[in-house]
Structure formats: structure tokens, C-alpha cells
Structure 1
Amino acid sequence: MQTGLAAYVPICDAIALLFQPYAEVVLHELSSQSVVHIAGNFSKRELGEPSLLDEIGFDPRETTIGPYEKVNWDGRRIKSVSAVLTAQERPIGVLCINVDVSHFHGVIDALNALVHVSGGAQRHPLLFKEDWHERINEFVQHWTRSRGLLVTALSRDQKRQLVADLSKEGAFGGRNAAAYISRILGLARATVYNYLNQAAAAETGAPPDGGA
């Protein structure tokens, strides 16, 4: 982590501590395009993962981005805001604050149902709208909801099918995507690759290299 960003680490920790367990703060380093610090981690991101800012046409001349809405790996709705950090008038990082608002959405839904009020908040453009983390999260939540399932309670066969369906959607094209999918499904990375091998063999009719 470059020196200029190190000063923001206590700020990240303080924000996450003040709003725990609802806030996660992620610090991105622009020079390496990677995650260099995470406080209050609930997204299952890891240090050193690519920030993917180069894939979304990110404009470092912006100062504050958001608020915008995202979805977490387990379906929780996240409200986020990002700030571009500078040193000597040069952008060096991005500090993202993610707040879990799923509980508040539940309260709002209950109140809306009670007074028969319809409608909802407009979805803001996403900073990471092309981020494969977001695409994987959206696909997993659609896949589980459409089957009346929870990602935290999938059986082995259901996880195998989900991995196969993710593969068909091209979800494994992102850097470190297999590692991310293995974490959110609670699988060893070798098991994910084994499921991919089985899915490929099923499509071609060839016997898989290994069992489950």
C-alpha cells in the first residue's frame, strides 16, 4: 500500500466500527488497481483482489460517486458511496462505504404494506456496474430465489448445478472469479473446478476427469 493511502486505514476502521455490523469500508489503490484494506468485511472480498476500475471506464476526476445500490452475495441490499482520494492533487485511491440496508428495507416494506403505499426508491447507477462480483451476485440470487432456495442452505447437488449454470453464463471469465464463487458457496476451489469439469463432460458426453 502506498504511503498516501495508509493514512486512510484508521478512517476506514473507525467508520466500520461506528456502524458495525452494518457498514463495510473498502479501500482501493489506483496504482495497483487492487483492494488494499477492508474493514467490517461482509462482502467476502479479499485483500489483493483486483478493483476492476479499468473495466468500467472509471473517471478519476470525480470526487464523490453515489449513493448507489448493490446486492451482496447473500442477497442483502447494500447502499454505497465512494470517494476518490488524492495526494498532491493526484488521485491515488477510492474509499467505498457499503451499508447493509436490508433490515431497513424490511421495516419499510412492512410499513408500506400496513398503510398500502406502493413504490420504491429509484435504483441509482452503479459504480461497479460491470463488476463481475455484482454480476455473479445478481445471478446467484435470481437462481436461488426462482427455486425458493437460500444460498446459505444449498445441497451439494444444488451447488454443483449452480456452478454449471454460472459457467454457462460466463461467470468464470473474471479474474479470481472461481475463488470468489468458491467462497460464497462454501466450497473448496478444487471442488468448484471439479464441478466445472463434470459440467463440461456432461455437455460433450465425455467422462469427467474426476468424481465429486
Structure 2
Amino acid sequence: MNKKLNSYKTLCDAIGKLFYPHVEVVLHDLELEKLVYIVNAFSKRKIGDTILNDVKDIKALTSDIVGPYEKINIDGKRVKTVSTIIRDENKKPIGMICINFDIEIFDKIFESIKGFLNLQNETNEPNLLFSQDWRSHTNSIINRYLEQKNKKIEELKTKDKKELIYFLNEEGIFSIRNVVAYLCEILNISRATIYKWLKELN
């Protein structure tokens, strides 16, 4: 890990401690293209995981702060996220801190207040472009499958994972760049296995 990022670990710890257990803080090394530190992990990610976004796209950002925006976590919970780019003394992007806030607790509080005040549920569907990224969209589809099967992702056997890949293929998810790497991480299977299963559909 870039030594210049070491000092940001304390910042990650401080944010995580202040908002425990509802905030996950992730530190990425853009040169290694890997996750190098994580606090209050609830996204199933771990140290050493590859950065899911294209690093070239991250380095091309003109703003050092991205978000906040909403996405869906792999467990189906709504998460509000903001990311900040870390630069060295030459303004070169070397790292990124992502702060993921589990806002499920506020949904529950709001539902209780809404019921108490007899409020009507009047919500507009947010624009997908601004409310979700491709991982959030993928998580939504995976959670739809899990709800249909009444299962949790950690309970899936090999045959279940294969069926899920077929389901995702029908939903057109494999037209998304980087989605295979993401599925490998959350399902703990290899690229070769995914491509083998997809090939069987032809």
C-alpha cells in the first residue's frame, strides 16, 4: 500500500467509530487498484479486493468529491454513499475513501412516524442515473431472486449460484462492464465458472 495513505487509516477509524455500526468506511489504493483498509464492513468486501470501478475513470474526475448518492447493498438495504479522492503533493490521485451509510434505520423510523401521523406514501421514482450505480442495480436484481427463493446469499449452494447466473443473464446484467468481477467477489466463484455456465446457455 502507498505509505502516504497510512495516515488516512486513522481518519477511517474515527468516522467508523463515530457512526458505528451504520457507516462503512473503505480506503482504496488507486495504484494497486485494490481495497487496502475497511472499517465496519457490511458490504461483503474485504482487504485485497479489486477496485470495482475503472481506475482510469476515477482519475479522470474533475471533482474530488463524488456524491452523496443512493445505492442498494448486496443485502438489499438502502445505502447512501459519498467518495473522496486523495491526491499527493503533485495533485496526482493516489487513493479514494468511500463512506457508505446504511440508512435502513431511518426508513424504519420514518415508517413508524408515518403510521403514527397517518401520512400517505407519496414518493416519486428517482432517476436511475442519479440514484443508483451498476452495482446497486445488480444488487436489486440479485435480491429479487433471493426473495423469490426465500434464501440469503451466503446460503446459496453451487446449483443455486448457477441458477442465479442464468437469472441475471435473462435480466441482461452481463452487458454491464465489470459485472463479472463483482459477481465473482460476492458469490465466491471464478470467472471461468461464470463463463462456463453462460456458455451452457448457448
Band of TM-score, shorter chain: 0.7 to 0.9
Q: CA deviation at 1:19?
A: 1.9
- 1:141 aligns to what SS in structure 2? helix
Contact in 2 for aligned 1:83/1:96 (Cα 8 Å): yes
1:44-193 equivalences in 2 (<5 Å): 44-46=44-46, 47-54=48-55, 59-90=60-91, 91-115=93-117, 116-120=119-123, 123=126, 125=130, 129-130=133-134, 133-145=135-147, 147=148, 149-152=150-153, 156=157, 158-168=160-170, 169-171=172-174, 174=178, 176-183=181-188, 189=189, 193=193
Aligned counterpart, 1:12: 12
The separation in 2 between residues aligned to 1:159 and 1:19, in whole angstroms, is 34
The separation in 2 between residues aligned to 1:158 and 1:33, in whole angstroms, is 31
Q: Percent identity?
A: 24
Aligned counterpart, 1:21: 21
Contact in 2 for aligned 1:63/1:84 (Cα 8 Å): yes
C-alpha RMSD of the superposition? 3.3
Q: CA deviation at 1:105?
A: 0.8
Contact in 1 for aligned 2:30/2:96 (Cα 8 Å): yes
Q: CA deviation at 1:57?
A: 6.3
Tell me if 1:3 matches 2:3.
Answer: yes
What is the number of residues matched between the two proteins?
A: 192
Q: CA deviation at 1:102?
A: 0.8
Contact in 1 for aligned 2:24/2:39 (Cα 8 Å): yes
Q: CA deviation at 1:101?
A: 1.1
The separation in 1 between residues aligned to 2:19 and 2:124, in whole angstroms, is 22
Contact in 1 for aligned 2:72/2:137 (Cα 8 Å): no
Gaps of 5+ in 2: none
Query: Over residues 1-26 of structure 1, what are the superposed CA-to-partner deviations in whole Å (9 max), with x where a residue is unaligned?
Result: 11221110111122112222211101
* TM-score, normalization by structure 2: 0.75
The one-letter code matched in structure 1 to 2:97 is L
